[in-house]
Structure formats: structure tokens, C-alpha cells
Structure 1
Amino acid sequence: MKGGRKNLKRAVEAEMMALQQGQNIMQVVDLRGSNLIEVMDAKGQHLLAIFPAKFQKSMWIKRGNFVVVDESGREEAIESGRKVAGILTQVLYHDQVRILQKSSEWPEIFRSSSQESSMQETELY
């Protein structure tokens, strides 16, 4: 299957979100440079995650965006002293965020922040 970036973006847009074990919805807090991002989980804890090279130049993220992070090796990373504790698996687009907000998988801590950001977007236009 050729057309790497095109097919990657098409697959992400068409994919219905179903969180797998070890995956959590998180909010981007800061972009640390190269491929590191700082995210906040549902408990309010901050951690570093890797933004894989396959997403670079095809998906863009900024502070406040919502992403899905695989943190299945988080405990091992903390115990061994590594700072990076997760891998970004998907960037959530606005439509996907709206669908997830209506489901039970959406964390309560993000309900108010996502509503405030959508209100600000409507005020700008």
C-alpha cells in the first residue's frame, strides 16, 4: 500500500475511537521540542510522551489538543528512572472529541476545559 502519509491520515480520520487497554485520553500541555510532548492525564498528573516520526509532517498538534497516549509501560519507566512514560498513538480531531465527550470514556477533568475552548472558538468567528 503506497502513499504513506495520505493513507495514514485517511485511516486516522475514518477510525472510530475505541480505547484499548493501556490507552488514555490526555491533553497536550507543552511541546518540549523534537518529538517530545508534555501531556496531562485524567488525574491531573503531567508526563512526557513521544510523538512518533510517522505522525510528523502529517499531523500537527498544539497546546490544548487532545490525544490518545499508550502508557502501558508507565510504571516500568518511572521505576527505572526514565522521563518518557508514554507513546502518542492518535491525535484527536474536533469531530472525534465531540463524539468522545458524549461517551463514558471522556475524563471528567477535561469536560470543563473542552467546553471553554469550544466557546472561545465560536466567539472568534
Structure 2
Amino acid sequence: MSQATKRKHVVKEVLGDFVTPAENQQIVKVIGSRGNNLHETVTARGETFLVSMPTKFRKNIWIKRGDYVIVDPIEEGEKVKAEISAILYKDHIQHLQKLQLWPEGFQEEPSSQEKTDREQEKGDEREEKDEEEGSGSEDDDSDLFVNTNRSNYHYSESEEEESEDEDEEDEGERTENSP
């Protein structure tokens, strides 16, 4: 089987199949990558441990911090206590919530749909405020992307400094032009 065919089947399996955890499996949240196909996870009860990614997922499926996975426990593991058996995406999570198989410890976090609804409501409120304020909202930079890797510098020039500079320039012109 070629690499492309293998990748196609693995991706189809991960995205298409709605899996439910077996008795010995559990749902955990990825909180970081430790390299070498190891990921640090936390359970719904707050326990943290390392899990390994099986070879069929390597270089085919990517997981990041905040993703949820179903893991199989490894009995002989001291540091690495489980192996990833399934990766859960938004549709999988909603399916598990409907079946009431989602852990209560992860229930507190609002779903991504709820987050987008709240953001849309906030955006609608901002638009209403902007309409009420009129054209003064053109200088509002609150919706611009902020790079958190850079220090924020605020440059402000007061109107007094500008007017003093203009007055000095006007006086200089008068003395040069006067006979």
C-alpha cells in the first residue's frame, strides 16, 4: 500500500467514524507536546500523564494543545501511561455529548459553537454602538489583530505641542518676510 493510500484510509477512519470509549478507555485533553510522538494530557479528574501516538497516526494526523483524544491504558508504563486510539473533533464531541458519554470534568468548557455564538452577539452589540456613535468609530482599532510577541508602545502627541510648533513656524515666517 502506498503512503498516499495509507494516509487516505487513516484520515477517512479518523474523520468518519464516530467512536465511543470502551470500558478501559478514557477521554483526555491534550495540554502539550513533549516531542518524539509523546503528548502530555489531563483527565477530567485533573490527573496528568504522557500518551504516545501510534505509528498509523504519525505524519498523517496532527493534534495540538486543546484537542481531545481517546486513549488505551498501558499497564507497564511508568511515564507513558496510555496510547492514543482515536482523535476527537468537534462532530465527535457533539456526538458523545448527545449520548451523555462526555466526562463531566470537561463539561464546564463551552463548546466552540457556543463561543462563536457569543462572539457574534458581541460583534452585533459593537455594530449597534458604532451606529449610535456615528462616524467617530473610524478610529476604533479594537478589531485589529494584536501581536502578543511584541511590546505595546503608545505614541501620543498632545494638541498643545502641535499648536506651539505651528505658532513658532508662523512667527519665523513673519520675521523673514518683514522689511
Inter-partner Cα distance in structure 1 for 2:116 and 2:69:
19
Inter-partner Cα distance in structure 1 for 2:101 and 2:27:
8
Relative to 1, partners in 2 of residues 1:28 and 1:118: Cα closer, same or farther, differing over 3 Å? farther
Partner of 1:49: 51
Aligned length: 118
Inter-partner Cα distance in structure 2 for 1:117 and 1:11:
23
Q: TM (normalized to structure 2)? A: 0.59
Unpaired runs of 5+ in structure 1? none
1:91 aligns with 2:87: yes
Unpaired runs of 5+ in structure 2? 124-179
CA deviation after TM superposition for structure 1 residue 60, in Å: 1.2
Larger helix fraction of residues: 2
Give secondary structure in 1 for the equivalent of 2:44. Answer: coil
Moved over 2 A (4+): 116-125
Is the contact between residue 68 and residue 91 of structure 1 (CA under 8 Å) also seen in structure 2? yes
CA deviation after TM superposition for structure 1 residue 83, in Å: 0.6
Give secondary structure in 1 for the equivalent of 2:108. Answer: helix
Partner of 1:10: 12
- Within a 5 Å distance, the mapping from 1:11-50 to structure 2 comes to 11-50=13-52
Larger strand fraction of residues: 1
Higher gyration radius (CA): 2
Q: TM (normalized to structure 1)? A: 0.82
Relative to 1, partners in 2 of residues 1:92 and 1:116: Cα closer, same or farther, differing over 3 Å? closer
1:110 pairs with 106, 109, 113, which one? Answer: 106
> Between the two proteins, what is the percent identity of the paired residues?
36
Give secondary structure in 2 for the equivalent of 1:4. Answer: helix
C-alpha RMSD of matched pairs (Å):
2.1
Partner of 2:63: 61
Aligned residue identity for 1:83: K
Higher relative contact order structure (alpha carbons within 8 Å, sequence separation ≥ 6): 1
Inter-partner Cα distance in structure 1 for 2:74 and 2:113:
31
CA deviation after TM superposition for structure 1 residue 116, in Å: 5.5
Give secondary structure in 2 for the equivalent of 1:112. Answer: coil
Is the contact between residue 72 and residue 85 of structure 2 (CA under 8 Å) also seen in structure 1? yes
CA deviation after TM superposition for structure 1 residue 30, in Å: 1.1
